Structure 1
Amino acid sequence: MEEKKEPIICVPGQRLCLSDKFNVPGPGTYEQHGYIYSKLAGVVNLIKTEQTCTVEVQGMREQSIVPAPGDIVTAMVMLVNQRFCKCAIKCIGDVVLTRPYRGILRREDVRATEKDKIEMYKSFRPGDIILARVLPLTEVHTYQLTTAENELGVVIAHSEEGVSMVPVSWTEMQCPKTFNKEFRKVAKVVPEHVINEQ
């Protein structure tokens, strides 16, 4: 009879093992610099096949999830200046967080092209809801974000009238009430049914 092994408990950001041809990251983990790290506070599960061992972390509570490099997050723009905008990260993928994380989006990470021509006030305004990708960590407690992909940028914005604006181009949104246009770095939102059909 096999003796029962104690479960391995881990915390968010904890390095679990090397990431190689045998050990592969599964749900609740991410790979960075050749190692597998935990995204959650939870129990480590190893799912072994002949060729691989998938390292998974089963969360004790869903809310111990933290943003990891490469994650797509939903954030609210809190403050905008010429060099960057400060954001509050509200969701990671489909998971709504119980508390927001601080994010910063620098001018050079707004678009992939014409970086020197970017004006932060023409890309974002406080209160905008944006989709952004998490960059590798450089500062503790602040996540660096980028919107330098077509699918990333402003998804919800309100006009001065308080009405939800409609995207009219990559760089503009329009108020359906007053027809005033405002500059934004607009996200190209791909409907879910299109993603599922691919």
Structure 2
Amino acid sequence: MALQEREEGLVTPGDVLGKAAEVRAGKGAYEHSGLIYASITGRSLTVSPSAESPDQRPTLEVMGLKAHGAVPEPGSIVIARVTKVMSRMASVDIMCVGFKSVSEKFTGTIRQQDVRATEIDKVDMHLSFRPGDTVRAIVLSLGDARAYYLSTAKNELGVISAMSSAGETLVPISWTEMQCPLTGQIEQRKVAKVGS
């Protein structure tokens, strides 16, 4: 006898799928405190038990969605983490394209001339970015075989999150400075304008 399957809606980790007294947890699901929860993102599926099964509760499974991660392309706004800062450029790992996370590793380069729109010759890369900073940037081009060329040369682009040496999240106080709320120490950054 064939098992019957009924597809339900889209679920994400932590969504309650049912009560353990009525259904069993299958693939992509788990039981906790009498409830069945989704452990992965996907479509929930109710599988009827076979006639021979001693447990006649249906099984709830979550079929994972195939990860079609976003791919950066020219004009895309990306969120990236700074990995290395050199005198003429900063290297970053791209984490998101728009609001979608990437499923494979993409690297980017922010060149000195692409940090800001004015006083390009006065840009000091070490005063604009630090390793670990999270930046919002726009993809300029595919760059070379190793990395995309990115730009932060607009007010709404630049560092959106950074940690101070004291381990606190820095607070932006101007377009070139962020301050540690714990120590009051001011650090230089190319800050992204908030609320744009």
Q: Shorter chain as normaliser: what TM range?
A: 0.5 to 0.7
1:189 deviation in Å? Answer: 2.2
Contact residue 106 and residue 147 of structure 2 kept, 8 A: yes
5+ residue gaps, structure 2, are 1-64
Structure 2 CA distance for aligned equivalents of residues 61 and 101 of structure 1: 19
**Identity of matched residues, %:** 48
Which of 139, 142, 158 aligns to 1:137? It is: 142
Q: What SS does the aligned partner of 1:76 have?
A: strand
| Corresponding position of 2:128 | 123
Moved over 4 A (4+): none
Q: How does 1:42-121 map to 2 (within 5 A)?
A: 61-121=66-126
Once the two structures are TM-superposed, the CA of residue 141 in structure 1 deviates from its matched residue by: 3.6
CA contact (8 A) 2:158 2:190 kept: yes
Question: Which runs of no fewer than 5 residues in structure 1 stay unpaired?
Answer: 1-59, 192-198
- The higher radius of gyration belongs to 2
Structure 2 CA distance for aligned equivalents of residues 140 and 63 of structure 1: 22
* Aligned length in residues: 132
Q: 1:149 aligns with which of 143, 154, 163?
A: 154
Separation (CA, whole Å) in 2 of partners of 1:111 and 1:179: 26
2: CA distance between counterparts of 1:172 and 1:64? 34
Question: Partner of 2:179 in structure 1?
Answer: 174
In structure 2, C-alpha distance between the alignment counterparts of 1:63 and 1:107, rounded to whole Å? 33
Give, as a single letter, the amino acid of the residue that structure 2 aligns with 1:73.
V
Deviation at 1:190, TM superposition (A): 1.8
The amino acid across from 1:133 in the alignment is I
